[in-house]
Amino acid sequence: MIKSELIQKIAATNPHLYHRDVERIVNTIFDEIVDALARGDRVELRGFGAFTVKHRASRQGRNPRTGTPVAVSEKFVPFFKTGKELRDRLNDHA
């Protein structure tokens, strides 16, 4: 399922909303999550999962092909931990 299909499904169950409003609704939710993470906040959606950001320090890496050392600068990586309810739902004992 891609975003446009998700929007389509939400629009189908909410006939009183304009399609472009449903588009805004879906985009607003995911933008809000990214904005929160970019501020250093975490997002916890009980039963679904939690989005957090992990810090990776700068390190000396290596080009695996040539073996030359390269500097890898510090970075932040987003991380998602599945919620208990969703995890159970994936394995049919919800």
Partner 1 sequence: MSGKTLTRADLAEALVRKVGLPRNESQELVELILNEISGSLANGVTVKLSSFGSFGIRQKGERVGRNPKTGKEVPITPRRVLVFRASNIMKDRINAGLLRRKAAE
Binding site for partner 1 (CB under 8 A): 1-3, 6, 9-10, 13-14, 21, 24-26, 28-30, 32-49, 53, 74-80, 82, 86-87, 89-91, 94
Give how far Cα 79 sits from Cα of 9, 30, 39, 42, 68, Å: 27, 15, 15, 10, 30
Q: Which amino acid is at 4?
A: S
Least Å distance, CB 64 to partner 1, is 21
Least Å distance, CB 65 to partner 1, is 23
Query: Do 41 and 33 touch, CB atoms closer than 8 A?
Result: no
Instruction: Give 39 or 65: the residue with its C-beta nearer to partner 1.
Output: 39
